[in-house]
Amino acid sequence: MSIYNGTGCDEIAELVPVLCDERNKARGTVTADEVERTKWQLKAGLAGSHESPTQWAERLDNRSSTTAASSPSRNPLAKIDAVTADSVMAVAERIFQSRPAVAAVGRLDKLEAYDTLAARLAA
């Protein structure tokens, strides 16, 4: 999971705690309706991406293979359909439990210490 933000050096002291609090609010709040809406968005994006010449060639290649139609690793729609709110939350919990990596550029004198930031995200 990545979070990107741009802000002024005077606002960073306010931004980071709010950002961490909002990320923490997301824990345990994924609903089945949200997952279904996201699945439909992914499928629509995937369908739109199938219009390139490369995608057409790949589909023709898949049709010529006798195992391509039954192979779940080659069927992205089946993978999308298999996602549930519980599976999303399981992955999210693993992410939330790991120590964050932080990269920052600019004047950072008002950025809180890494250990403080990591503690906020572990809360």
Query: Can you give the three-state secondary structure of 11-26, one letter per residue?
Result: CHHHHHHHHHHHHHHC
Instruction: Name the more confident of 79 and 71.
Output: 79
Lowest mean pLDDT among 5-14, 22-31, 62-71, 94-103: 62-71
Average pLDDT of 43-64? 73
- Burial (CB < 10 A; 0-12, 13-18, 19+), residue 20, is buried
Summarize the confidence of residues 54-61 as an average pLDDT.
71
Residue 56 has pLDDT above 90, yes or no: no
Q: What is the mean pLDDT of residues 13-42?
A: 90
pLDDT confidence of residue 86 = 93
| Window from 13-22, 49-58, 101-110, 111-120 with minimum mean pLDDT | 49-58
Rg, C-alpha atoms of the chain: 20
pTM given for the model: 0.61
